[in-house]
Structure 1
Amino acid sequence: MARAAVLHAVGDDELDLRDDVGTADPGPDQVKVRIRATGVCHSDLSTMTGVLPTMPPTVMGHEGAGVVAEVGAHVTNVAVGDHVVVNWTPDCGTCPDCLRGEPYLCMTFIAQAFGDPRFTLGDGTPAFGMAGVGTWADEMTVPWQGVIKIDEDVPFEYAALLGCGIPTGVGAAINTAQVRPGSKVAVVGAGGVGLSVIQGARIAGASAILAVDPNEAKHPIAKRFGATHTATLDGLEEAKGLLTGGLGFDYAFEVVGKSAAIATAWGATRRGGDVIVVGAGAADDDFAQSAFALLFDGKNLKASLYGGCDLKRDVPRFVDLWRAGRLDIDGLISRRIRFEDLNDAVRALRKGDVIRQVVLFD
C-alpha cells in the first residue's frame, strides 16, 4: 500500500491524505514509477475547484519525477532503476495530432485515463489519477510514453518541474511564440509559469521583458528571472509607452487563466504582434473581441498548450540550459515540503504567496 493525496469531490478544500492506496500493476505497455519529487502547480488547484475536469475520487498531482520500479513486457525506452520525468500528456505517435508533429495536442491517453482507474483505495474503491497520472502518491502507473528518461545527476526536485511548469512557460516563449532576438515582450502574470515564460524570453534574446502583475511583491522576483521592467495593471499603459513608444509589444503572454488577462495581453500587443494564451482557464470564461479588430489589428491569438513541447526533444534541451547556467530551476522552488504538508501547500497556493512548492518523497 502507498500514500496518496485523494480528492473525493470537486470543490473539496481538503485532500484526504491516505496510506492505504494500491497502485495498478503495469500492463505490457506501461511503467510503474516510484515518485521522488512532485510539484504543487496552479493546475492542481484548478482541478480541485472544477476549472479543469477530473473523475473523482482522484489521486492529485501531475508534475513529478522518480525512479522506474517496474516495466511491462513490451517496454523498451526505460528500465527498472532509470530516473524519469513524468509526461502528463503522453503522445501516442499515431493520431492525426502526433503525425502533424503536434504531440502536445494528443488526447489518446488522457481520454483513456477518464475510464481507466489505476489506483484502489483501502476499501476497494477505484480511483483515477489527475490527468492520467497522479504524482501526489508514492507510486503510479502510466503508459511508457508517459516517462522521459533523464540523467541521474539531475536532482529529482528539478526534474519534477521539467514535467510541467518549465515546459509550459519556457516552451511558450521558445516553441509557440518563437521569440526573436531583440524583440519586446510582456508577460501578464508573474507566478511560477509566468517566471518560466520570462526565462524563455530571456533565453531567446528579447531586449525588453515587462512582467505585469498586480502583486508588487512579485516584481523583484520577476527581475531576478530576467524581466527588465515590471508594472501593475494600472501602470501597464505607462510602461508600454516607455518601452514601445505606445505601439505595443511584439509578444504578450497571458499566464493567469482568465479572459480578463487575455484582454490585457491583447491590449498590450502591437498591431501584427502575437498574443499567446498560456494559462488554463474555465470553460465558461469567454474572451470576446470585435470582428473588426481581429482583422484590422492583424494580431495573432495563439494557444500554447504544454508550451508546444515534445518532451522527448525538449527535456534534454532544458537540462542542457540548466547545466549551462541559463535556466534557473532552483530559484523557482519556494518550499521543499513533505507529503504530510500537502493541504498546507494547497492553502499557500490559494493565497498566491509561493512560486513552486515541491514535495520530496523518501
Structure 2
Amino acid sequence: MKAAVFHGPKLPLSIEDVELDKPQDREVLIKTVASGVCHSDLHFVEGLYPYAAPAVLGHEAAGIIEEVGKQVTYVKPGDHVICCLSVFCGNCEQCMSGHPNRCSNKAATQRKPGDKPRISQKGQPVNQFLDISSYCEKMLLHENAVVKIREDLPLDRAALIGCGVTTGVGAVLNTAKIEPGSTVAVFGAGGVGLAAIQGARIAGARKIIAVDMFEGKLAMAKRLGATDTVDASSSDAVDEIRKLTDGAGVDYSFEAIGLKKVAEQAFLAIKPGGTATVIGMIPVGQKVELDGYMFLTERKLQGSNMGSNRFRIDMPKYIDFYLQGRLNLDDMISQRRKLEDVNDAFRAMKAGEVARTVLMFN
C-alpha cells in the first residue's frame, strides 16, 4: 500500500509501497479515510525534533475498522474511529489517576523488540510515527489508540479532532480551565491556535485576542471567535495586547506555534496572577528565558500535552459541539489534497496559506 516515507530531516517525503502486518491480539487494522497535515510533522521533517528513519509520518487521522485482533472487544469491522497518539496502557499511575495522555507505559501498547514490525518495506522494519503513521492507506494500531465515533460525522472533520482540535480546545478547557468572562490571547492562528480560540469562545471568554503574522489567518480567527486581532508582523504583540486590556494584560495566554520568543511573549502578555500555557513544540535544546522577579507577581507558565486529553471522553464531546454548531470544523479545512500532495501541503503550511490541509484517501 502507498505511504509517505520519511528518510531523514530536510528531505521531502517519498511516496512508496510499504507492507502492514496482520493485527495481533489487541490491534486493529484501519482503512485511512482522512489525515490532517499537522505542524508537528513538519518539526520532524525539518529536523527540529529527532526521529529515526525510515518512518511513515502522520498522526491526525480518522478511518474505518477493517480487521481486529482476537482480543479486541471495543470495536468491530465497519466502525468509524478517530486515531489518537495519546495511546494509553490503562494500568500505570498516570492512567489510573486520570491522565492517560501522560501514560508512562507506552511500551505496553507497542510490539516487543524482536516481534515482526507493524510496518515494513522489502522485509526491513519501518518506524511507526507516534504509534499512528497516518500518511498511509491503512494503519495498524493498538486498540487503545482509537475512539469509536458516530457514523454521521464526516471523517475529514473527524480527522481534525484527532490532534489539532483536541490539542487546542483541550489546552483551554482541560489544561488552563479558563473561567467564563476571562480575557485570552492566542499566539498563532494555525490549526491548533484556531482550535484554542474556539475553545475560549465555548468556555465563555469575553475577550479573545488572536496574534499572527498573516492577514488571512487573522481573518479566519475573527470568523471562529476572536474578538480582536494583532498583526505581529507590524507591531509588538505584547504592547498591543496591553493596549487592548487597558494596560493590564490578559488572564490567560496560549502559545500555539512552538517558538521560544513567542512563549516568552505569551508570559509577558498575562496580568499578575495570570497563566500562560505553551501548546507548541519548542525545538529540542532551546530554553525559554524569563525575568525571575516576574514570578513574584504569581504569573504562571505551564505546558500542555495534547490538550490534557482523556480522548475517549473528550473527542465525543467535541463531536457534539460540532454537530450543535458550537465548534466550527468546516472552515478549519482550507484544502483537501491527495497523499501525493503532502510535501506541497507542508509548503503551504509554512507560507501561512492554510489553516489545515486534509489528505483524502478515497
TM-score normalised by the shorter chain: which range applies? over 0.9
Deviations 1:2-48 (A, max 9, x none): 11000011221x11101x21012111011111101000010111111
Q: How far apart are 1:318 and its partner, in Å?
A: 0.3
Residues 133-212 of structure 1 aligned to structure 2 (within 5 Å): 133-212=132-211
Question: TM-score, length-normalised on structure 2?
Answer: 0.95
Q: How far apart are 1:105 and its partner, in Å?
A: 1.0
Q: Which residue of 2 aligns with 1:85?
A: 82
Residues 302-313 of structure 1 aligned to structure 2 (within 5 Å): 302-313=302-313
Unaligned runs of 5+ in 2: none
Q: How far apart are 1:243 and its partner, in Å?
A: 2.9
**CA distance, structure 1, for counterparts of residue 27 and residue 337 of structure 2:** 29
**CA distance, structure 2, for counterparts of residue 113 and residue 189 of structure 1:** 37
Q: Which residue of 1 aligns with 2:247?
A: 246
**CA distance, structure 1, for counterparts of residue 49 and residue 29 of structure 2:** 25
Residues 347-362 of structure 1 aligned to structure 2 (within 5 Å): 347-362=347-362
Q: Which residue of 2 aligns with 1:266?
A: 267
**CA distance, structure 1, for counterparts of residue 107 and residue 73 of structure 2:** 22
> CA 1:127/1:92 → structure 2, altered by over 3 Å: closer, same or farther?
same
Contact 1:30–1:75 (8 Å) recurs in 2: yes
Code of the residue aligned with 2:246 in structure 1: it is G
Contact 1:4–1:138 (8 Å) recurs in 2: yes
Q: How far apart are 1:345 and its partner, in Å?
A: 1.3
SS in 2 for 1:26: coil
Deviations 1:61-96 (A, max 9, x none): 000000111111111110011000001111111112
Question: TM-score, length-normalised on structure 1?
Answer: 0.95
> CA 1:242/1:221 → structure 2, altered by over 3 Å: closer, same or farther?
same
> CA 1:331/1:10 → structure 2, altered by over 3 Å: closer, same or farther?
same
**CA distance, structure 1, for counterparts of residue 43 and residue 298 of structure 2:** 32
Q: How far apart are 1:350 and its partner, in Å?
A: 2.5
Q: How many equivalent pairs are there? A: 357
**CA distance, structure 2, for counterparts of residue 94 and residue 54 of structure 1:** 27
**CA distance, structure 1, for counterparts of residue 326 and residue 56 of structure 2:** 34
Code of the residue aligned with 1:327 in structure 2: it is L
Deviations 1:157-216 (A, max 9, x none): 011111000000011111111111111000111111101000000000000000011223
Contact 2:214–2:352 (8 Å) recurs in 1: no
**CA distance, structure 2, for counterparts of residue 135 and residue 268 of structure 1:** 37
Residues 334-349 of structure 1 aligned to structure 2 (within 5 Å): 334-349=334-349
Q: Which residue of 2 aligns with 1:275?
A: 276
Q: Which residue of 2 aligns with 1:15?
A: 13
Unaligned runs of 5+ in 1: none
**CA distance, structure 1, for counterparts of residue 346 and residue 321 of structure 2:** 30
SS in 1 for 2:315: helix
Contact 2:217–2:352 (8 Å) recurs in 1: no
Q: How far apart are 1:237 and its partner, in Å?
A: 4.3
Contact 1:110–1:132 (8 Å) recurs in 2: no
Deviations 1:294-342 (A, max 9, x none): 2x12111111110111111001100110011000001000001112212
Contact 2:34–2:63 (8 Å) recurs in 1: yes
Q: Over aligned residue pairs, what C-alpha RMSD do you find?
A: 1.6
SS in 2 for 1:163: helix
Contact 2:3–2:15 (8 Å) recurs in 1: yes
Code of the residue aligned with 2:160 in structure 1: it is L
> CA 1:327/1:110 → structure 2, altered by over 3 Å: closer, same or farther?
farther
Q: Which moved more, 1:45-54 or 1:181-190?
A: 45-54
Q: Which residue of 2 aligns with 1:120?
A: 120
**CA distance, structure 2, for counterparts of residue 134 and residue 181 of structure 1:** 38
Deviations 1:91-114 (A, max 9, x none): 111112112211111143379479
> CA 1:113/1:286 → structure 2, altered by over 3 Å: closer, same or farther?
farther
Contact 1:113–1:132 (8 Å) recurs in 2: no
Q: Which residue of 1 aligns with 2:56?
A: 59
Code of the residue aligned with 1:92 in structure 2: it is C
**CA distance, structure 1, for counterparts of residue 43 and residue 144 of structure 2:** 25
Q: Which residue of 1 aligns with 2:227?
A: 228
Q: Which residue of 2 aligns with 1:99?
A: 96
SS in 2 for 1:10: coil
> CA 1:359/1:227 → structure 2, altered by over 3 Å: closer, same or farther?
same
Q: How far apart are 1:220 and its partner, in Å?
A: 1.2
Q: Which moved more, 1:36-45 or 1:236-245?
A: 236-245
**CA distance, structure 1, for counterparts of residue 111 and residue 348 of structure 2:** 29
